Structure 1
């Protein structure tokens, strides 16, 4: 089945004349007849009743009429689209992060950025740590938002610190420990701990979790696949979540208590270069202002 067969069929159906159809299509009558015969053989159906005096469309022909129109319309539209290709003016900007939770930090930044870049099209890549840095090296992402790892270089990338983020214990606001200014090791040993999957947390936080988990019963530990899961379980009273604290992401039903003698984590942006990348430069500036305001 091809477009010429469909065109011949629709033209004959409209004129009820092979001769008139041939004239409209600027081809010979035998050519039209051949196309209709070929179509009927393919469909295994008679589309027209032909006599010496007239041409009538059959019931099968009427059923096929709408299908033929729809198919021909789709094909014609597809051809036209490629005859006049539309230029994709979207300005893609790819942001890598380690958890979906971190995306909640970005709406205000992206909203303001979109005012200057009308065709901005943000894309998020949420994958484990090392995979993200590989994407950055391959320039498959424009920027990676992450905690800085001490003594570890990420290829040829540049790191810009955006904030110092304290590590806190998260627990219900009505919890007996919620009134404390600091949580010490003894406080934490009296509670079940909600820890993050080592593949989804920075090395320094992972080291702290390992220390806190030492000599603890398995039943006293609950490993969570994401920060959201950890917060949900803390809110439900399953234990104390140990994780970095971003004030803008806090839940008013929870208390966020710093952990004694634990240094804050450096959180920032990894990128290759801002040369020739005005959108990346603008993003970094907005991040600096936003995270400064958060503090």
Structure 2
């Protein structure tokens, strides 16, 4: 068998360019000139006998071979880093980039509270948050663009491991000066005379609500339709109407304007979970953040 002779610097250079999708940004991260970085990538491609990156003056993208090799390269670097950190302080030395895909309703309040603690404990780890809809989050994880995700779909996907962390109900978001604000709970029938606002019918949250209301034979007619839950909250705060939103979309502490009222008959809920690819080993940095989010979900349930 021919000996593959490349060093750690070429591997690190490739991973940096792949994660940043930019030679310029990767060169800055590694404190190299762009020509020096290009030489390392070219040497690695020559040794492997395959092109790993397609690049133009404005764009850098992984080839099919590059996407496969990236996963192995990350795993190799993670194993080496983990071994080296065995005798030193992990919190002080752990570094790298973690990409997390997250549905916006969880990204607004739940995720930042964990990231604040994470950044304080692991200041050398960079985090990239991909805050998009449920289907986009699922695709980002299965395609490898995200290390893992926070989502409420994925339980039926054979290539995805779904770990439940939090079950939440949908609540009615209203202004604190609204006529319903003093109620301990409301039913969907109570919304008949309200200006009800909702997300688009292609939204995963809308599908959950429509399915639940179809079973109960009750439907709330939407006066406004938007793409994102956070837009709904802004419209509620502006006094344009009321909206059904996941509990985590509302502030974790008292808000000066918004409150959430339990919605009953029917009660609509969703299960939020951490999703990752089956058989994929997370890097040490990603594994730490995954564990903190898992623990935060447990705390939110209690």
Shorter-chain TM-score above 0.5: yes
Contiguous gaps of at least 5 residues in structure 1: 1-79
CA separation in 2, counterparts of 1:263 and 1:216? 13
Scaled by the length of structure 1, what TM-score is found?
Answer: 0.61
Residues 245, 256 of structure 1: 8 Å contact kept: yes
Question: Could you say which residue in structure 1 is the equivalent of 2:21?
Answer: none
Taking structure 2 as the reference length, the TM-score comes to: 0.60
SS at match of 1:123: strand
1:279 counterpart residue number: 285
Number of aligned residue pairs: give it: 211
Largest Rg, 1 or 2:
1
- 1:113-141 Cα offsets, whole Å, 9 max, x none, are 33554431111223333233222122111
Which one of 180, 196, 215 corresponds to residue 177 of structure 1? 180
Residue 134 of structure 1 pairs with residue 136 of structure 2: no
- For each residue in 1:231-290, what CA deviation from the matched residue of structure 2 results, as whole angstroms up to 9, or x when unmatched? 111122211111101252763312211110314211111112563522232222211222
Contact 1:195 1:209 in 2 (8 A): no
Stretches of structure 2 lacking an aligned partner (at least 5 in a row): 1-31, 41-93
| Matching residue of 1:51 | none
Contact 1:137 1:156 (8 Å CA) reproduced: yes
Distance 1:135 1:249 in 2: 31
Checking the alignment, whether the CA contact within 8 Å between 1:213 and 1:221 is kept in structure 2 is no
Q: Secondary structure of 2:252's partner?
A: helix
Which of 235, 238, 248 matches 1:236?
238
For residue 221 of structure 1, the aligned residue among 220, 223, 247 is 223
- Write the distance in 1 (CA, Å) between the matches of 2:216 and 2:244: 10
Q: 2:201 aligns with which of 195, 198, 201?
A: 198
Contact 2:97 2:285 in 1 (8 A): no
Q: In 2, distance between residues paired with 1:139 and 1:274?
A: 10
Q: Is 1:251 matched with 2:255?
A: yes
- Who is 2:33 aligned against? 81
* In structure 2, C-alpha distance between the alignment counterparts of 1:236 and 1:83, rounded to whole Å: 53
Distance in 1 (CA, whole Å) between partners of 2:164 and 2:289 is 14
Give per-residue Cα distances to partners, 1:187-244, cap 9 Å, x unaligned: 1111011101233333313434778997766xx5210221221111112221111110
Partner deviation per Cα, 1:159-200 (whole Å, 9 max, x = no partner): 111111110111111211111111112211110111012333
Q: Over aligned residues, Cα RMSD in angstroms?
A: 3.2
